[in-house]
Homo-oligomer: A and B are copies of this chain.
């Protein structure tokens, strides 16, 4: 497995574009993105579990029932959620695009992100589609990644190459997500493309299983959005033997997908609204998988701990406290906590008790950009990792007046 460039265009047969069509007047960034495969793909997606569910999510869910898609269109600025005629707007968007491309409307994945409760104007989208198609390019991943961003400060794009079924395959993804990021769902917009040939059933299985360990293990602020989806398209252009059994090839595919999803997760967590630091909490020694997940997630979700990390304060009591209310079964008196970063590693709690440590060393370690919180909660065999970010003044600033 090796990292490569190209994002969603790294895999053969995919092109992408991103343009500004003017969904919200007065803004300047790209707000409409397209990803296209030269031929129909096996396709799978996971969606928000929020009961208030965006119109595009409903439409995409219906379109993907047959496990096939060829294009992704996504706008930023307005979420097309809790607004009149939302599904009609999403369907029409697919229709205009399909007509212009000569593909089936039901082979279009449609997504939106932005403000809830305002109607999505169809005119700029419709008027923008010709330019969006003209802009399609094998170097278009960057523009597509920018087009789906809202409060994101950096684009999240990643690709890698791996071997499966006797061929080199490629896989790449772009992601959007900064606020409203929380476990327990497909937590943001993520579009992944691959040229591997794989059956729709195994594509779906690999995606769903990896989501549990990646996107469902990150949190920025505990809020789960109405519009999130992770969609995966596989067009088979790598000409590998099609992956149809859970064999070594499937494992290679799933491992590559995990790596890609994990890196996109880290990117999203590090770019959490207002964040200055990426937090990674690795819990081991749990008696069950569930306990490990609950504990790790609870730590990265704690506002108190997140604020302490912003302040580079080694306040480990808040970590024990967060695990204590997580619902995980564990013995506080058998719990150890260490902090690790590029500046070193420091044990601060052993057996649930304070360990004498240098506050200066702790400050140095916690002042880095990536902080690992390593927690052992007993003698069990299960472990889990969760990702998050610190809580900062800027989170408050960004969300104090997002609409205007």
Considering only CB atoms, which chain B residue lies closest to A274 in the complex? Answer: B396
Query: Which chain B positions have C-beta within 8 A of A119?
Result: 354
The distance in angstroms between the C-alpha atoms of A83 and B14, with both chains bound, is 58
Considering only CB atoms, which chain B residue lies closest to A118 in the complex? Answer: B354
Contact A400 B311 (CB under 8 A): yes
Q: How many copies does the complex hold?
A: 2
Q: Give A303 Cβ to nearest chain B Cβ, in Å.
A: 4
A1 at the B interface (CB under 8 A): no
Considering only CB atoms, which chain B residue lies closest to A392 in the complex? Answer: B396
The distance in angstroms between the C-alpha atoms of A272 and B404, with both chains bound, is 27
A304 at the B interface (CB under 8 A): yes
Take A49-B325, A82-B332 as given contacts and tell me if A117 and B349 are in contact as well, using a CB distance cutoff of 8 Å.
Answer: yes
Contact B223 A322 (CB under 8 A): yes
A67 at the B interface (CB under 8 A): no
Query: Which chain B positions have C-beta within 8 A of A391?
Result: 396, 399
Q: A115-B317, A224-B321, A310-B400 are in contact. List 11 more A-B contacts (CB 8 A).
A: A51-B329, A52-B321, A52-B332, A79-B317, A117-B349, A223-B302, A223-B318, A223-B322, A224-B325, A303-B395, A395-B396
Interface CB pairs A-B, < 8 A, 15: A52-B320, A83-B353, A116-B315, A116-B318, A116-B320, A180-B304, A222-B303, A223-B304, A223-B322, A224-B325, A226-B321, A303-B303, A307-B396, A311-B399, A315-B402
CB within 8 Å of B: which residues of A?
49-53, 79, 81-84, 115-119, 179-180, 182, 184-185, 221-226, 301-304, 307-308, 310-311, 313, 315-318, 320-325, 328-330, 332, 349, 352-354, 359, 391-393, 395-404
